[in-house]
Amino acid sequence: MTDENAPTPATDGGLSAEAQRVIDEIEEKDVDFLRLQFTDILGTVKNVAVPATQAEKAFTDGIYFDGSSIEGFVRIQESDMRLKPDPETFAVLPWRDGRSARLICDVINTSTGEPFEGDPRRVLKNVLERAEDMGYEVNVAPEPEFFLFEEDEEGRATTKTSDAGGYFDLAPKDLASDVRRDIIYGLEQMGFEIEASHHEVAEGQHEINFEYDDALSTADNVATFRTVVRAIAAQHDLHATFMPKPIPKINGSGMHTHMSLFEDGENAFHDPDDEFDLSETAHSFLAGILEHAPAITAVADPTVNSYKRLVPGYEAPVYIAWSDRNRSALIRKPAARVPAASRIEARFPDPSCNPYLAFAALLSAGLDGIEKGLDCPDPVRENIYEFDEQKRQEYGIETLPENLGEAVDALEEDEVIADALGEHVFEKFVEAKSQEYDEFRVDVSQWELDRYLETY
């Protein structure tokens, strides 16, 4: 079968113009090693390191690997997979003296020559193609939060925070500002466009905001971002974690995700005649996310620990509603200075998610809302945290799943999100997350031992 996903041929040794540009840049920047990156379905970054001298072969022939060893990929009898580097993702990594560079890869099924349906990057591409067929370009800007913790004498992570700072604090309380600065320098060296960074509410908690970019590039960058943050933190003898709730009874880490659609170069979400400056398209997109929120939660908040963050009282949304003012709602409409900045902000994803799958789920839900012309409910401008159950019922406000098990159940019942993931990823994801929740349910926590062991 003809491999339709082979690099576009060119006159220069079979390389595309984009690939040749990368080859030239490798030589100019004296790169020694290439890290060919991809993710498993859980969002863990995997990489195959090859000498830079193999770059041309990587572009023309691909690099083969055993897919049966990757979470959620294939069985051992179907194991051969091929990595196809995307030359647009070339970036020199900001450590190892600038000698290593990354290329993010698509995964090709060698038995068919087609893109592997279990590749999370392919899942997002499929949804983006659907958006393109509807006439839309998708822009995304996430705000991933993370904690910086000290390491013990043996280099293992602790939960002792590296500073005593709070929201927007400056040094001396924000002692990790130098680490955050080095992280931003490193990301900018890779070509990331960073909008802002600051200390978050909790001690040791930080946030770095991405500039708007197309959804695929943003997902690529989120995957690499986590690796870069951990590596630079380690240079400062600190451990960076994107675990949603590493410390009880304080704010957890989210990844608020701003989204907008553009049509013919104009922001399809903007309407100056609307009370909220949102178009009918934006209202339907927003309604689609609200409609499918329980299922999206399984993908956007994919760990047992995620649901320790999604509780009232710690600035994390748990109620399925939207607002143009307060932050207790699931979705917020931020103020926009210019029409191009009109957008919505999904506040429930967390940074442990696979960004390809999370963006795919959010986008497919929004597109479903547009296709069905869903009506958007009125915004809730009051603090929903202060509502009692009766008042929430009066407003018709539902809640997110309370745990991973409920979220997986919601995902299994939602055909739109299941279809967006594709049969392979859907089945493997549900299998992995059901097992994770089952393991959690049968475990006995330290809290239980402390509370019950000597009491009964």
* Positive/negative CA dihedral, 64, 70, 72, 74: positive
Strand ranges inside 67-175, DSSP E: 80-85, 91-92, 100-109, 114-115, 137-151, 157-161
pLDDT at 36: 94
pLDDT at 395: 85
Output the CA angle 285-413-131, nearest 5 degrees. 30
Q: Tokens for 168, please give them.
A: 């927007």
Bridge partners, residue 33, by sequence: 51, 100
pLDDT at 189: 85
All residues at 6 or more sequence positions from 258 whose CB lies less than 8 Å from its CB, including other chains: 140, 141, 142, 143, 212, 334, 343, 344, 345
Residues in the chain: 456
> Of 77, 81, 365, 94, whose CA–CA distance to 229 is shortest?
94
> Of 116, 114, 105, whose CA–CA distance to 425 is shortest?
116
Summarize pLDDT for 284-332 with one digit per residue, the tens.
999 999 999 999 999 999 999 999 999 877 778 899 999 887 777 899 9
Q: Please, are residues 368 and 291 in contact by the beta-carbon 8 Å criterion?
A: yes
Strand ranges inside 1-41, DSSP E: 33-39
Q: Tokens for 156, please give them.
A: 């293992």
pLDDT at 409: 98
Residues of the chain with pLDDT under 70: 1-13, 68-69, 71-79, 96-98, 162-176, 197-202, 337
Output the CA angle 110-111-113, nearest 5 degrees. 55
Annotated binding-site ranges for Mg(2+): 143, 145, 200, 207, 256, 345
Active site residue ranges:
66, 143, 145, 200, 207, 256, 327, 345, 347
Residue 28 burial by Cβ neighbours in a 10 Å radius (0-12, 13-18, 19+): exposed
pLDDT at 59: 93
Q: Tokens for 441, please give them.
A: 């349910």
